């Protein structure tokens, strides 16, 4: 009789894949969550170590951070957009751990970014090897987060690059606050409400510069974004290519920008908009922390996999919203989502995967399949750092929900 076929050979999706990709597929589809949460400190340290490795292993070897580690193709080239917003994460960690080596890595990222900045102050979309290289609003806004952090940490040498990027964003904005020009060539055309994350970049620049135009431009965009939001907290026009069922990743971009707008301006309308979205997301999270990776306008999951970057961003937004409202349900949901992520991230094994965050879980989900993505790792570290800060400040054990609730209404205008 013929030899018995292995489990791997019986699964059509695995034909032609490298062995390590096959193993990861089988692990994700059979093992599920690990039994033990490795803990916040190990998660943070493992994530930072992975980001350092991604900088060292970038195929373009330029000081930027590789966009992905693919189980099929290996390390990618440096990604300017995400390198930009990885910088504040590295600087935060270097302060928490008094780690000068991580601080210097952030400086190398900054120096690389200003070396590729266009003369008009903008930055291009895609990785450093993307062609053609054209000015892109969203990517410029994300890099602005890093430039502003660079000014705060290192001083004036990054001030002019920051202002040039911010000036360009102000100049290319439409009168109603929307950015309709200079969209990434890698996404479908059309208005994007996730531009709220660009507005946040301008608010960070406004904190470091005296130019009131940055604040005005950011708040004009956030006013436009909130005007698009539906009554149930939904953000339309909020995906790269399928706004009918956007990724949690892009929905969270919009949500975070709105919340950061409230932190800056204390406009109760922004907090109310952010709380509406936070309440809607609460209905989606499962007991184990799973949140579906794509969601329709009725707040229904449309896919069986999780977008792990989106889950990390949602966790962070819930914890930020908890800090703003003292509503305990947000804190508990953020903790639950973070625990789900920690049990999805390896803390031992080959260095190219330890601390890395997959695009999707299971690994073959339809978002950056079979890859670990640097932005997912960045948001994972951020959300765990915020959880650590809250837990240390409150001294509460895991799952303790004894804090009194203060509803969102107390922040509304009289």
Task: Please list the rounded mean pLDDT of every run of 10 residues in the chain (414 residues).
Answer: 36 86 92 80 97 98 98 98 98 97 98 98 97 97 98 97 98 98 94 98 96 97 98 98 98 98 98 98 96 98 98 98 98 98 93 97 97 98 98 71 31 29
Model pLDDT, residue 412: 30
In the prediction, which pLDDT does 396 show? 58
The residue with tokens 């062995």 is: 19
The residues, any chain, with a CB within 8 Å of residue 409's CB and separated by 6 or more, are none
Burial class (CB in 10 A: 0-12, 13-18, 19+), 390: middle
pLDDT of residue 6: 34
Digit-coded pLDDT (tens) for 136-165: 999 999 999 999 999 999 999 999 999 999
Check residue 40 and give its pLDDT.
97
d(CA 253, CA 258): 9
Rounded (10°) angle between helices 40-57 and 80-97: 130
Return all residues near 262 (Cβ < 8 A) that are at least 6 apart: 268, 270, 271, 274, 324
| pLDDT digit string, tens, across residues 22-72 | 999 999 998 766 668 999 999 999 999 999 999 999 999 999 999 999 999
User: What domains can be seen in the chain, in order of their start residue?
Assistant: 50-56+229-414 (1.50.10.10), 79-226 (1.50.10.10)
| Cβ neighbours around 1 below 10 Å, total | 3
Terminal CA-CA length for the chain: 81
Four-residue CA torsion sign, 245, 249, 252, 253: negative
Please tell me the distance from the alpha carbon of residue 289 to that of residue 284, in angstroms, as a whole number: 9
Q: Which two tokens stand for residue 175?
A: 């009168």
Core vs surface per residue 163-191: b (16+ CB within 10 A) or e: bbbbbbbbebbeeebbbeebbbeebeeeb
Whole-number pLDDT of residue 10? 55
> So what's the pLDDT on residue 33?
64
Residues written for the chain: 414
Instruction: Indicate the pairing of strand 74-75 with strand 306-307.
Output: unpaired
Is the pTM higher than 0.85?
yes
- What pLDDT does 32 receive? 63
């Amino acid at each position: 009789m013929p030899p018995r076929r292995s489990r791997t050979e019986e699964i059509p999706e695995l034909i032609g894949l490298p062995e390590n990709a096959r193993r990861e597929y089988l692990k994700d589809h059979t093992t599920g969550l690990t039994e033990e949460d490795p803990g916040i400190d190990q998660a943070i340290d493992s994530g930072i170590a992975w980001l350092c490795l991604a900088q060292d292993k970038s195929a373009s070897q330029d000081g930027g951070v590789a966009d992905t580690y693919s189980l099929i193709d290996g390390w990618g080239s440096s990604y300017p957009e995400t390198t930009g917003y990885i910088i504040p994460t590295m600087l935060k960690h270097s302060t928490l751990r008094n780690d000068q080596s991580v601080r210097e890595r952030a400086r190398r990222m900054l120096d690389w970014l200003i070396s590729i900045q266009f003369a008009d102050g903008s930055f291009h979309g895609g990785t450093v090897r993307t062609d053609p290289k054209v000015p892109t609003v969203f990517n410029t806004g994300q890099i602005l987060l890093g430039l502003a952090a660079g000014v705060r940490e290192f001083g004036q040498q990054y001030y002019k690059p920051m202002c040039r990027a911010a000036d360009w964003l102000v100049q290319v904005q439409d009168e109603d606050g929307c950015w309709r020009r200079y969209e990434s060539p890698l996404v479908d055309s059309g208005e994007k409400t996730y531009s709220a994350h660009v507005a946040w970049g301008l608010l960070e620049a406004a904190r470091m510069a005296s130019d009131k135009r940055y604040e005005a431009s950011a708040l004009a965009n956030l006013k436009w974004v909130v005007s698009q939001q539906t009554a149930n907290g939904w953000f339309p026009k909020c995906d790269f290519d399928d706004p009918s069922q956007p990724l949690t990743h892009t929905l969270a971009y919009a949500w975070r920008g709105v919340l950061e707008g409230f932190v800056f301006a204390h406009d109760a309308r922004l907090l109310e908009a952010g709380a509406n979205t936070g309440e809607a997301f609460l209905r989606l999270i499962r007991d184990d922390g799973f949140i579906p990776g794509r969601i329709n306008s009725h707040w229904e999951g449309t896919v069986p996999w999780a977008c792990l970057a989106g889950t990390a961003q949602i966790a962070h937004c819930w914890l930020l919203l908890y800090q703003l409202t003292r509503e305990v349900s947000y804190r508990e949901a953020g903790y639950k989502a973070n625990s789900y992520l920690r049990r999805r991230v390896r803390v031992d094994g080959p260095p190219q995967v330890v601390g890395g965050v997959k695009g999707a879980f299971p690994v073959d989900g339809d978002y950056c399949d079979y890859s670990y993505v640097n932005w997912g790792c960045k948001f994972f570290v951020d959300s765990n750092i915020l959880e650590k800060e809250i837990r240390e400040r409150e001294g509460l054990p895991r799952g303790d929900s004894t804090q009194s609730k203060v509803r969102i209404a107390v922040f509304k205008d009289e």
